[in-house]
Structure 1
Amino acid sequence: MKGQTKKLVPPDGGWGWMACLGNSLINISLRSLDPSFGLLFGDMLKELNVTTVGGTLIIGILESVVNFSGMFVGPAIKKFGCRKIGIIGACLSCTGLILTSQANSIAYIICTYSVLGGIGIGFAMSAGFVSLHSYFIQKRTQAVGLSMAGTTLGMMCMPQIVHLLLIHYNFRGAVLIIGGLALHSVLGSCLLQPVSWHLVPDPNNKLKSETLKSNGRVSEGEKLLKKDDNGKSNGHRRKSTSSDMSSVDLSTNSVSNGNNSELRYKKLQDHEEDSEKNEPSDEQTAWQSAKAKIIAFFDLDLLTNITYLNTVIGVGLFSLAESNFKMITPFFLASIGMVPGEIAFCLSLTAFADVVTRLTMPMIFGKLKLANRKVFWVSSFLVGISRSTMAQQVAGKILMANLIFNGFLRGITLTNLNLSVTESCPPSKVPSALGMLMVFKGLFVAGLGPVLGHIRDWTGSYQICIHSMTASIMLCTTSWGIEFAVKEIRKRMDSSSQREVGARSKMV
């Protein structure tokens, strides 16, 4: 319609579902191998005489590299876009997996699987999530749940695939084939088209020129206000000028007096010298300019946001427990007498519960309009309790039920993990917020991950090691609980004070 302007917004669907498919392909190709690490690398690590610490070192470096790549992935996505960064990351990760098939030492595995593959995973997965986040507004939780269901679907199938590949092709052939399957992530990255190509008019925000014309009186009022503001600002400038003159004691009476003229000149000179001293030097100006550019480039002002800072620290602690639990689960199941086939079935059972949760629960949470952080907070607490309970079980039906429940809770928690971070920052800073989150996760995994492996070797107990992971999760839930409690107390105090003010105004 002529004379009508429409605001363009993300489609909240449309090509966004193709971006969801692309993100799912990236996840299923690059991260579905994680729970099967012990199953795939177990025999190779035994041949190399690598202990549990060595296994946690490989996983720890992988997770650290994935997360520390966040220092560069945020600015890179801003510069080159999600699709290019996704394709580069997918190619690097697949190359690392293919080269790992020729591994003959733990150092070789770390260089190819952990470092090269980790950089690729960090770039590709971050690009996928940022692209998906930009396409959706109301349906964001459902889209993230569907895309992450791809990861869980891969985790459900991968243990069986790994088990069969090891039987027929041994370690080297199995890793080579899995590296080829991972190339599907390149196709997924190609689907991450820029959201600017698919923007649609927002039906709820139409700015009509006819409406502006009908409100002509308001426009005239605005003009009068502008004039009044200009008058005030001019008056303010005149006042400030006179105040500046008075600060140097320039008065009309002193003009006729020679001594006062000399005094006036001296004070004016002193005032100019003080102004020159207060002006920053060229070096200070250059440093301040460089500092401001760095802060703006990496969005480091996010670190002054207490809510965001508490969120990323809590998520980092949870990620520390999650990454090590995935690695140690096959070894724990083997320690209670399970054979590789049974271990693969248990991992698939957990993944099945996980994928069902990611497909169904986001829609329920969307209808209930629950905050992502609070859902993550409750579910992560239950995850810790579930895993510590599992650590005390032996092979049997109770263990199977616990694994299903654990998979259900894990699906809820991981679906809301990144959304909890984006909920704590402005939409324009999502890429940088996720990048800093990855750095925090890397710090925790690199710094404390090997400690969990040492706990297992020192104590000789997988149960104590799993309880240590639960302790890490409980630190997260405790810090968030304190924050929620403080905010709730302040909210009630503010509401009570507002009621008191309202009651007083009525009395007056």
Structure 2
Amino acid sequence: MDGQVNRVPDGGFGWVIVAAVAIINMTNQSILSVFGQLFGGELRRMNEDTFTAALITNLNSLALNFSGLFIGPAIKSFKPRNVAICGCLFVSLGLLICSMATESWHFIVGYSFFVGFGLGLISPSTFMAINSYFSSKRGRAVGVSLAGAGVGQVFMPHVVRYFLDNYDFQIAVLAMAMVSLTGIFGAMFLKPLNPPLQHNNRKHIRLLSEKDVEKCQVTPQAETVHQPSEESFSKKMLSRLVQALDLELLKDFVFWSIIVGMALVYTATINFTMIFPSFLRHSVDLNSQLVATCMSVVAFADIICRLLLPCLTDYLRIPYRVVFLLGTLGLFVARMFLAETKDLRVIIAMSVLTGMMKSATVINNNLTISSHCRSEKLAGGLGLSMMSKGLIVITVGQLLGWIRDYFDSYVICLYAQSVILFLVVIVWSPEIYYRYRRQKRTTTKSIETTIEAGVEEVAKLNA
């Protein structure tokens, strides 16, 4: 893990950063939750159907996750604070474009690409800022910062409703663009704890190019001998690309297991969020008020557990990946019960369980990466994780949508999500157990060696 754990203050100014990140999440990440409320009426006015709305949101998710291709080099070269500021600017600019939209493709440009890319820059950069200030309390810090997004999801719909009821669509979107800009105020507090790593991608690539240019400018007599080959230059540039993106992480099978497993859980969660209201309305026959109540129960359980769960897991020192696995198992159980019942009491209980277990996976997503990657590889690890989510969402996510449409059943779609969640559980569990047993044997052996050495030392002293 991080080699600087002993030098981490585990608080102090770090809590100021946590509050700043909570503000950023409240004013930017929560925008995703009001897409239908904010843009639904305008899309209907343009005579666009559900397919267009789904395309806009899917492309937004794609842009958000594929920003991971740039996030590692960006954080290394420009620091988390500057990357987060750029993310807030992209989100605000995207909403500004949407406010002037007259055709649906304007929303694709503004919301799908600009807003998606901006949110993709914000998430890992803010996590990196928190990560450097905390060790044993890292889970609590991340939980509080992510609770900001939950609070935003509670209040933002009311802000949108106020502007839509009292003004018009354009003013409402402009207001949201201004709200997102307040995230820059929070980003200004993201002061790095340690000096930047000695890994400047721009400098390395510039020096590499200058070195090859110098080789090309040798004397004419030596030109034929020292002229660099195109193949050699390509290999050097490829090596720099691998280093910049930390692609050597992909040699690690466990890292593959982590990022693919988390991407599958992420995809199942997105699909559930999309179909849950329709499932309650059409499969369980609940009225709109009860549907809203169940959704609110999920949201409030999620927020509360984002605040309380890390305190418990940090105190018990449960590994982040184990907590993520338990959250995945809980989501699987909740899905199975929901698919098998129409009892309102059971549905409310499973809504609570869903919110609790969702918080366990959301909080421990980036934390799992941080516990597996060395500090200098963390930015690249977060980027590769985001890219895997983008690939899984556009493939497995579309497959889940096809299953729902082909069978015309929300229940079967819940079962399909359950299969995906259970697959992650059965793949991760043996590996985590094996690593736990190996670590336990290593620890026991180390203790025995220490005791034996102590006994021998005492024997020598007595002799």
Q: Secondary structure at the match of 2:373?
A: coil
1:429-480 deviations in whole A, cap 9, x for unaligned? Answer: 1111101111111111122323322333333222222332232222222221
Q: 1:150 aligns with which of 148, 151, 154?
A: 148
Q: 1:293 aligns with which of 230, 240, 244?
A: 240
Q: Which residue of 1 aligns with 2:208?
A: none
CA contact (8 A) 2:330 2:353 kept: no
SS in 2 for 1:33: helix
Partner of 1:75: 73
User: For residue 126 of structure 1, what is the amino acid of its counterpart?
Assistant: P
Q: What is the aligned counterpart of 2:346 among 398, 404, 412?
A: 398
The structure-2 alpha-carbon separation of the partners of 1:385 and 1:8, relative to structure 1 and needing over 3 Å to count, comes to: closer
1:179 matched to 2:127: no
Instruction: Name the structure 2 match of 1:113.
Output: 111
Is contact 2:72–2:244 with CA below 8 Å preserved after alignment?
Answer: no
SS in structure 1 of the partner of residue 11 of structure 2: coil
Cα deviation, residue 423, structure 1? 1.2
In 2 relative to 1, CA 50–459 (structure 1 residues): closer, same or farther, beyond 3 Å? farther
Aligned length in residues:
414
Does the CA-based 8 Å contact 1:381-1:474 persist in structure 2? yes
Q: What CA deviation, in whole Å up to 9, does each residue of 1:84-132 have, x standing for no partner?
A: 1111110111221233234444422221111110111111222111111
- The residue identity in structure 2 corresponding to 1:310 is S
* Match status 1:131 vs 2:78: no
1:189-237: CA deviations, max 9, x gaps? 1111122389xxxxxxxxxxxxxxxxxxxxxxxxxxxxxxxxxxxxxxx
Q: Find the residue that maps to 1:136 and give its secondary structure.
A: coil
Deviation at 1:163, TM superposition (A): 4.8
Match of residue 322 from structure 1:
269
Aligned-residue RMSD, C-alpha: 3.2
Question: Of residues 362, 368, 374 in structure 2, which corresponds to 1:414?
Answer: 362
Partner of 2:432: 484
Q: Distance between the aligned counterparts of 1:171 and 1:396, measured in 2? A: 36
Verify the 8 A CA contact 1:22 1:128 in the aligned structure 2.
no
Letter in 1 for 2:337: T
1:369 corresponds, among 317, 320, 327, to 317
Q: What's the counterpart of residue 311 of structure 1? A: 258
Residue by residue, what CA displacement relative to the aligned partner does 1:327-369 show, whole Å, maximum 9, x if unpaired? Answer: 3333434435556665444333321111111111111111100
Kept in 2: contact 1:159–1:347 (CA 8 A): no
Q: Distance in 2 between matches of 1:343 and 1:173?
A: 29
User: Which secondary structure does the structure 1 equivalent of 2:136 belong to?
Assistant: coil
Give TM-score scaled by structure 1 length.
Answer: 0.73
In structure 2, what is the Cα distance between the partners aligned to 1:165 and 1:393?
A: 39
Unaligned runs of 5+ in 2: 197-227, 450-463
- The answer (yes or no) to whether the contact 1:57–1:449 under 8 Å persists in 2 is no
- Pairwise CA distance, 1:391: 4.4
Match of 2:214 in 1: none
Bigger Rg over Cα? 1
2:332 to 384, 388, 401: 384
Asked if 2 retains the 8 angstrom alpha-carbon contact of 1:52 and 1:456, the reply is no
- Give distance in 2, aligned partners of 1:332 and 1:49: 25
CA distance in 2, matches of 1:458, 1:53: 15
| Equivalent-residue separation in structure 2 for 1:377 and 1:369 (angstroms) | 15
Deviation at 1:401, TM superposition (A): 2.7
Q: Distance in 1 between matches of 2:100 and 2:339?
A: 35
CA-CA distance at 1:386 after TM superposition = 0.9
Other-structure match for 1:243: none
Q: Which residue of 1 aligns with 2:99?
A: 101
Task: Provide structure 1 residue ranges, at least 5 long, that are not aligned to the other structure.
Answer: 1-6, 199-280, 502-508
Partners of 1:323 and 1:454 in 2: CA distance:
15
Counterpart contact for 1:38–1:328, Cα < 8 Å: no
In the other structure, the counterpart of 1:203 is none
- Mapping for residues 239-318 of structure 1, pairs under 5 Å: 282-283=229-230, 285-318=232-265
Residue 125 to residue 374, structure 1, CA distance change in 2 (3 Å): same
Contact 1:62-1:113 at 8 Å conserved across structures: yes
Are the structure 2 counterparts of residues 497 and 369 from structure 1 closer, same or farther at C-alpha, using a change threshold of 3 Å?
closer
The correspondence for 2:296, drawn from 345, 348, 372, is: 348
Which position in structure 1 is the counterpart of 2:84? 86
Measured in 1, the distance between the counterparts of 2:122 and 2:444 equals 49
Match of 1:465 in 2: 413
Quote the Cα distance in structure 2 between the aligned partners of 1:495 and 1:86: 40
Cα distance in 1 for partners of 2:138, 2:433 equals 27
Contact 1:35 1:326 in 2 (8 A): no
Moved more, 22-31 or 478-487: 478-487
Instruction: Report the CA distance between 1:175 and its aligned residue.
Output: 3.3
Which amino acid counterpart does residue 256 of structure 2 have in structure 1? L
Pick aligned residue for 1:21 from 5, 19, 22: 19
Residues 245-277 of structure 1: CA deviation (Å, up to 9, x unaligned): xxxxxxxxxxxxxxxxxxxxxxxxxxxxxxxxx
CA contact (8 A) 1:93 1:117 kept: yes
